[in-house]
Amino acid sequence: MHLGHINYPPTTLGEAVDKWHHDTLPLDCVMTVSDPATLDGGQFEWFRGTKHEMAAMRDRGETIPRERIVAPAFPGPGYAIALHGDMIVHRGAPLNTLAERISMVNGYVAMDPSVDEQSRSRDLIALDVQRAIADMRGGEVPPEHYE
Ligand SMILES: [Fe+2]
C-alpha cells in the first residue's frame, strides 16, 4: 500500500522547502517533478548519521557539519530516490531563487499485518481513534467522545 503527497516550494526565500525531519513510514520514494537543472537551491538532502545523532546535535544546539550532508544528483525530472524515510533524516533545502520546485513523495507500508511495518502509524491513530473512525464514516463523531 502506498500514500503519496506533493511538496510545493515556500514563497519565502531562505525557508526550507521541507525542514529536517524523518518520516513516519518505513519506505519512501522521492521523485523530482521539476527539472533540478532549472533550480538554484532546493536540493533534496539527507544526513549521513542516525536520527538519534541528529536529535542529540539539535539538543546541544549544534549545526550540522556540511560534510555530513549528502545531496544526491537528480539528472532530470522524473528521477527518484528510495530511502528508509523513518530512519534517514532529510529535507528539501531552501531555494536561493524563487522557482517552481515540485517533488512527489510516495510512502509505502506492508500490507501483511504480521510484518512489523516500522512506522509510527499506530501512534498517529492512537492520537484520536474516535475522530479517525468518524472521519472514515463521513465526519460523525459520537457525542460521548468529547464529554
Ligand atoms: Fe520526508
Residues with CB under 5 A from ligand 1 (ion): 23
The boundaries of the domain holding residue 66 are 2-109
Segment 27-71, tens digit of pLDDT: 899 999 999 999 999 999 999 999 999 999 999 999 999 999 999
Segment 72-129, tens digit of pLDDT: 999 999 999 999 988 899 999 999 999 999 999 998 877 777 877 666 666 655 666 6
Ligand 1 centroid – CA 140 distance (Å): 31
Residues 58 and 103 in one domain: yes
Under a CB-based contact definition with an 8 Å cutoff, are residues 120 and 86 in contact?
A: yes
Tell me the H-state helices in 3-147.
51-59, 121-127, 129-136
Ligand 1 centroid – CA 136 distance (Å): 25
DSSP string, 1-19: -EEEEEE---SSTTS-SEE
In a domain, 104, yes or no: yes
- Predicted TM-score (pTM) of this structure: 0.76
In a domain, 100, yes or no: yes
pLDDT for 142 equals 46
Ligand 1 centroid – CA 133 distance (Å): 26
Ligand 1 centroid – CA 121 distance (Å): 14
pLDDT for 144 equals 47
Q: Please, what's the b/e burial string for 40-69 (b: 16 or more CB within 10 A of its CB; e: otherwise)?
A: ebbbbbbbebeeeebeebeeeeeebeeeeb
Residues 129 and 83 in one domain: no
Under a CB-based contact definition with an 8 Å cutoff, are residues 33 and 6 in contact?
A: yes
Q: Compute how many other C-beta atoms are within 10 angstroms of the C-beta atom of residue 35.
A: 15
Ligand 1 centroid – CA 97 distance (Å): 22
pLDDT for 107 equals 87
The total of structural domains in the chain comes to 2
pLDDT bucket at 146, cuts 50 / 70 / 90: very low
Ligand 1 centroid – CA 109 distance (Å): 14
